[in-house]
């Protein structure tokens, strides 16, 4: 009986194993995860779960019974310490398991502040796992002073939840503007206004020199010399793909575990999907950090492990919830040279459309699900929206799909 082992029991690992079964693969499947819990979804960690609106059970991707019913051996709380491609085995401490095919779905890990900058003081948190959020939540009582280091999606979502809870929030972003890496100035402006309206102190072009405190954080010194009193800090300065296991096994790594369009790594019989994997996308190599990618790439890899030859060619999408605003993004905006704004309702509903040399790349839609849907559909069908239609808020966007 062929044996498939999947290392990493997060969004991609859970999707991959479920897909193997639903598409009829009847060999052995073992899903191994380091975290001591059932596979769960991460997005609510900085949204409903942190706010206290969503119970733990709703984070789980499937109930415990699913894995037994599907004959998937789920081993949680177990770290894979090495892979030996020559003997096709994985090592879990003292134990070795043989595989015919292996998938790496090891995700990513947050970048930390170094100890010399106060990164290891008590009260300084990163936000990647359930455990991280359970450790952070009790510190977010009304009146507490929270410093968010990094104005990316994770930091801003935490800021929004904390502000809602009555926490005094300061966001410090070293780049010229929040969301600089991922969004247009127009989107950053919109999101900044949202936070300012909720009383968050947003400081851009300013870094953290160091966090201070005697064992526990009590302050911060910023690169402009400002000093802040701080009770709790969240560091959201990006993530790095979890590739150590692959590298040690001699698997090629290039901004993540390098795969081809089918999810194959450089080592026969070993595949990769999700946050940890980079793959060819429209002439460039990309690595995506999203639920859409984790699910769709994992499902493509499952199909390919079962013998199909399915190219993974996604239209990426992503979302972020902050206060009552929903930001939805379709496509990848990298290298854009033009933005067309559609302000459907000033200060409330807007979309920003990205072009590169005249070709449509992506859309950011704020509280505008129709704009998002139309943009995504156009990307899927390779159409280019008419700029005059886009910039007229009274025009019928859907008509462009005909
Ligand atoms: P993960 O879900 O991170 O799973 C990887 C798993 O592998 C982990 O459990 C890890 O412990 C395990 N592992 C690693 N190494 C080993 C080993 N050697 N042995 C055993 N196990 C191992 N995306 C969106 O699209 N929209 C959002 O709104 C959004 N919000 C987010 C909010 C937060 C707080 C976070 C952290 C992420 C968010 N994301 C969001 C991103 C999304 O959750 C990730 O892209 C997705 O979880 C990636 O899935 P994955 O399976 O590749 O990695």
Residue 25: φ, ψ to 5°: -65, 130
Alpha helices by DSSP H, listed for 220-368, are 244-248, 291-305
Inter-helix orientation angle 185-197/153-164, to 10°? 20
- pLDDT at 252 (0 to 100): 98
pLDDT attached to residue 66: 98
Give the span between the Cα atoms of 329 and 315, in whole angstroms: 10
Confidence of residue 36 (pLDDT cuts 50, 70, 90): very high
Mean pLDDT of 320-343: 96
Three-state DSSP at 20 gives: helix
What is the per-residue pLDDT for 228? Answer: 98
What is the distance in angstroms between the CA of the first residue and the CA of the last residue of the chain? 50
Ligand 1, CB within 6 Å, residue ranges? 7-13, 32-35, 42-43, 45-46, 79-80, 105-107, 127-128, 154, 242, 245, 274-276, 289-292, 294, 318-320
The side-by-side arrangement of strands in the sheet containing 101-104 is 72-76, 28-33, 3-7, 101-104, 270-272
Coil vs helix vs strand at 171 = strand
Average pLDDT of the segment spanning 224-237: 98
pTM listed for this prediction = 0.97
CB 126 within 8 A of CB 255: no
Mean of pLDDT values over 160-180: 98
The two tokens of residue 65 are 């019974």
Query: How do 201-204 and 168-173 pair as beta strands?
Result: parallel
- Closest ligand 1 atom to 78 CA: 20
Q: Indicate if the pLDDT at residue 337 is higher than 90.
A: yes
Q: Give the whole-angstrom CA distance, residue 362 versus residue 376.
A: 8
pLDDT at position 92, please?
97
Q: What does the mean pLDDT of the chain come to?
A: 97
Q: What angle do CA 301, 302, 303 make, to 5 degrees?
A: 90
- The predicted-structure confidence for 53-110, as pLDDT tens digits, reads as follows 999 999 999 999 999 999 999 999 999 999 999 999 999 999 999 999 999 999 999 9
Give the pLDDT band (50/70/90) at residue 298.
very high
Q: Determine what percent of the chain is predicted with pLDDT higher than 70.
A: 100
- pLDDT value at 1 more than 90: no
Distance of CA 371 to the CA centre of its chain: 22
Residue found under tokens 């040279």: 337
Average pLDDT over residues 207-215: 98
For residue 87 the two structure tokens come to 């003997």
pLDDT, average across residues 226-234: 98
- Residue 273 alpha carbon, nearest atom of ligand 1: 52
Q: Give the residues across from 229 on adjacent strands.
A: 219
If one compares 334 and 195, the residue with the highest pLDDT of the two is 195
Which pLDDT value is given to residue 402? 86
How many residues does this entry show for the chain? Answer: 402
CA 31 – CA 67 distance, rounded (Å): 9
The pLDDT of residue 144: 98
- Expressed in angstroms and rounded, the spacing between residue 1 Cα and the centre of ligand 1 is 30
Residue nearest to atom 30 of ligand 1 (CA): 43
User: Which atom of ligand 1 is nearest the CA belonging to 107?
Assistant: 53
Percent of the chain residues topping a pLDDT of 90:
99
Confidence band, pLDDT 50/70/90 cuts, at residue 334: confident
Structure tokens at 132: 């991280």
pLDDT band, very low/low/confident/very high, at 259 (cuts 50, 70, 90): very high
DSSP-derived secondary structure for 371-385? HHHHHHHHHHHT---
Q: Alpha carbon of 31 to those of 73, 219, 226, 319: distances in Å?
A: 6, 43, 48, 28
- At 123, the pLDDT band (50, 70, 90 cuts) reads very high
């Amino acid at each position: 009986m062929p044996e498939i082992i999947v290392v990493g029991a997060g969004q991609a690992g859970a999707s991959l194993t479920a897909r193997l079964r639903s598409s009829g693969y009847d060999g052995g499947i073992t899903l191994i995860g380091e975290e001591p819990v059932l596979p769960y979804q991460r997005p609510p960690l900085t949204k409903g779960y942190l706010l206290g609106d969503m119970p733990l059970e709703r984070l789980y991707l499937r109930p415990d019974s699913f894995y037994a019913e599907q004959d998937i051996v789920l081993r949680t709380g177990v770290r894979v310490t090495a892979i030996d491609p020559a003997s096709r085995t994985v090592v879990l401490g003292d134990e070795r398991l043989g595989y015919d095919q292996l998938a790496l779905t090891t995700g990513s890990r947050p970048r930390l502040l170094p100890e010399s900058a106060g990164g290891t003081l008590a009260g300084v948190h990163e936000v990647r796992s359930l455990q991280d959020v359970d450790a952070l939540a009790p510190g977010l009582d009304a009146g507490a002073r929270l410093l968010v280091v990094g104005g990316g999606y994770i930091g801003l979502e935490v800021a929004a939840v904390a502000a809602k809870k009555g926490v005094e929030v300061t966001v410090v972003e070293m780049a010229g503007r929040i969301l600089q890496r991922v969004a247009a100035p127009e989107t950053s402006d919109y999101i900044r206004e949202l936070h300012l309206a909720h009383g968050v102190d947003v400081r851009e072009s300013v870094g953290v020199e160091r966090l201070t405190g005697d064992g526990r954080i009590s302050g911060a010194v910023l690169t402009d010399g400002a000093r802040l009193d701080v009770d709790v800090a969240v560091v959201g300065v990006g993530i790095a793909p979890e590739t150590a296991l692959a590298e040690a096994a001699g698997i090629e790594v290039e901004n993540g575990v390098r795969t081809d369009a089918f999810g194959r790594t450089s080592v026969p019989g070993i595949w990769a999907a999700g946050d940890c994997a980079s793959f060819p996308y429209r002439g460039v190599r990309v690595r995506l950090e999203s639920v859409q990618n984790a699910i769709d790439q994992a499902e493509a890899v499952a199909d390919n492990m079962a013998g199909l030859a399915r190219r993974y060619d996604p239209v990426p999408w992503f979302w972020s919830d902050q206060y009552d605003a929903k930001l939805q993004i379709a496509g990848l905006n990298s290298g854009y040279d033009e933005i067309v704004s559609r302000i459907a309702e000033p200060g409330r509903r807007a979309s920003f459309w990205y072009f590169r040399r005249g070709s449509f790349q992506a859309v950011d839609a704020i509280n505008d699900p129709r704009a998002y849907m139309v943009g995504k559909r156009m990307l899927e069908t390779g159409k280019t929206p008419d700029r005059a239609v886009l910039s007229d808020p009274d025009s019928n966007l859907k008509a462009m799909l005909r």
